[in-house]
Amino acid sequence: MLLAVVRRAFDMVFVMFGISVIAFLIFFATPGSDPSARIAGRNATPEMLAQVRASFGFDRPLYVQYGRLMQRLFIARDLTSFVNRGQKVVPAVLQATPVTLSLVFGAAVIWLTAGIGLGIVATIFRGTVIDKGLMLLALCGVSMPVFWFGSVMNLITQSRFHDTWLFSWVPGLGYTSFFESPSLWFKTLVVPWFTLSVLFIGLYARVLRASLSENYQEDYVRTARAKGLSESRIMLRHALRTSLITLLSMFGLDFGALVGGGAILTEVVFNLPGIGRLTYQALQNLDLPFIMATVMYSTFFVVLANALVDVAHAWLDPRVRDAR
Amino acid sequence: MTIVSNTSAAPAGKDKRNKPKGPWRTALSRLLRDKLAVASFLFLASIILSTASATYYADHISQTDPFQSNLDGHIEISGEPAEIMAADSEGLGLGVTPIGPTWTGQYLLGADAQGRDVAARLLYGGQNSLIVAFSSTALCLLLAGVVGTVSGFLGGIVDTILSRLLDIIWAFPIYLLAISLSIVLISKGLQIGPFHIPSNSLLLPITIIGVVYVPYVARPIRGQVLTLAKSDFVLASVCLGMPTARILVRDILPNVVTTLIVFAPIMMSLSILTESSLSFLSIGVQPPAASWGTIIQDGQGLLYTRPLVAIAPGLAIIITVLCLNFLGDGVKEAFDPKAKLRVGKD
- B124 contacts: CB under 8 Å, gap ≥ 6: B51, B54, B58, B66, B67, B290
What's the confidence (pLDDT) of residue B346?
Answer: 37
CB contact under 8 A, B342 and A15: no
Residue A258: closest CA among A306, A219, A223: A306
Q: Which pLDDT does position B140 carry in this prediction?
A: 94
Rounded distance between C-alpha atoms, residue A214 and residue A165, angstroms: 44
Percentage with pLDDT > 90 across chain A: 10
Beta-bridge mates of residue B83? B74
CB contact under 8 A, B296 and A158: no
User: Which residue in A has a C-alpha nearest to residue B346's C-alpha?
Assistant: A254
Let me know if residue A321 belongs to a domain.
no
Torsion angle defined by CA atoms of residues A155, A159, A160 and A164, in that order, rounded to the nearest 10 degrees: 130
Instruction: List, in sequence order, every beta strand (DSSP E) within chain B.
Output: 74-77, 80-83, 85-87, 96-98, 190-192, 195-197
Q: Is A242 found in the same domain as A262?
A: yes
Do the Cβ atoms of B171 and A280 come within 8 Å? Answer: no
Q: Which residues of B touch A33 (CB under 8 A)?
A: 184, 187-188, 191
How far is CA B162 from each of CA A20, B20, B252, rounded to the nearest angstrom?
17, 39, 19
- Asked whether residue A47 falls in the same domain as residue A176, the answer is no
Give the number of domains in chain B. Answer: 1
- Provide the shortest C-alpha distance from residue B3 to chain A (in Å): 35
- Residue A177 and residue A138 share a domain: yes
Q: Is B276 on the interface with A (CB under 8 A)?
A: yes
Residue B159 in domain = yes
Point out the residue among B190, B281, B321 whose CB comes nearest to the CB of A31.
B190
State whether A80 and A110 are in the same domain: no
Q: How far apart are CA A175 and CA A276, in angstroms?
A: 14
ipTM, 2 dp: 0.86
Instruction: Answer whether residue A167 is part of any domain.
Output: yes
| Residue A108 belongs to a domain | yes
Dump the DSSP string for A100-159: HHHHHHHHHHHHHHHHHHHHHHHHHTTTSHHHHHHHHHHHHHHTS-HHHHHHHHHIIIII
Determine, yes or no, domain membership for A131.
Answer: yes
CB of A143 less than 8 A from some CB of B: yes
Exposure string over A52-77, b if 16+ CB within 10 A, otherwise e = bbeebebeeeeeebbebbeebbeeee
- For A:63-92, CB contacts with B below 8 A are none
Residue A217 is assigned to a structural domain of this protein: yes
**B198-240: pLDDT as tens digits:** 777 788 889 888 988 998 899 889 988 888 888 888 889 889 9
Q: Are residues A122 and A226 in the same domain?
A: yes
Domain that holds residue A45: 2-89
Select from B173, B180, B318 the Cβ nearest to the Cβ of A302: B173
A247 shares its domain with A134:
yes
Answer whether B200's CB lies under 8 Å from B289's CB: yes
Option in B171, B304, B345 nearest A19 (CB) = B171
Domain count, chain A: 2
What one-character DSSP code corresponds to residue B192? E
- For residue B196, what are the CA distances in angstroms to A30, A31, A235, B152, B248? 13, 10, 59, 34, 35
Asked which of A63, A89, A115 is the last residue of a domain, the reply is A89
- For residue range A177-210, list pLDDT tens digits in order: 778 788 888 888 888 999 999 989 998 998 899 8
Alpha helices in A30-61, H assignment, sequence order: 35-40, 46-56
The reply to whether A259 and A198 lie within a common domain is yes
If asked whether residues A131 and A169 sit together in one domain, one would say yes
Residue B201, domain member (yes or no): yes
Is there a domain that residue B316 lies in?
A: yes
Contact A262, B346 (CB under 8 A): yes
Which regions of chain A are under pLDDT 70? 1, 31-33, 41-43, 83-86, 320-324
- Give the CATH number, domain containing residue B302: 1.10.3720.10
Residue to mutate among A143, A214, A246, with most B CBs inside 10 A, is A143
Q: Which residues of A touch B281 (CB under 8 A)?
A: 264-265, 268, 280, 283
Contact B131, B210 (CB under 8 A): no
Do B169 and A22 count as a contact with CB atoms less than 8 A apart? yes
Chain B residues with beta carbon closer than 8 angstroms to that of A260: 173, 176
Residues 88-147 of B with CB under 8 A from A: none
Interface test with B, best of A146, A147, A250 (most B CBs within 10 A): A147
Domain presence at residue A315? no
Shared domain check, A104 and A82: no
CA distance B254 to chain A (A): 28
174-193 of A, contacting B, C-beta below 8 A:
none
User: Is A50 within the bounds of a domain?
Assistant: yes
Same domain, A64 and A161: no
Q: What is the pLDDT along chain B (346 residues), one digit of tens a residue?
A: 444 444 444 444 455 556 677 777 888 888 888 888 888 899 899 888 888 887 777 777 766 777 777 666 666 666 666 666 666 555 555 566 777 676 666 666 677 777 777 788 888 888 889 999 999 999 999 999 999 998 888 888 888 888 888 888 887 877 888 888 877 777 666 766 667 777 777 888 898 889 889 988 998 899 888 888 888 888 898 899 888 888 888 888 888 888 898 889 989 999 999 899 888 888 888 877 888 988 888 888 777 778 888 888 899 999 999 999 989 888 888 887 665 555 443 3
A310 domain-assigned = no
> Is residue A185 domain-shared with residue A83, that is, in the same domain?
no
* Whether residue A120 is found in the same domain as residue A168: yes
In angstroms, the CA A165 to CA A169 distance is 8
B181 vs A contacts (CB less than 8 Å): 26
Any domain includes B92: no
Domain that holds residue B201: 39-55+117-335
Q: What pLDDT does B138 receive? A: 95
B190 touches chain A (CB under 8 A): yes
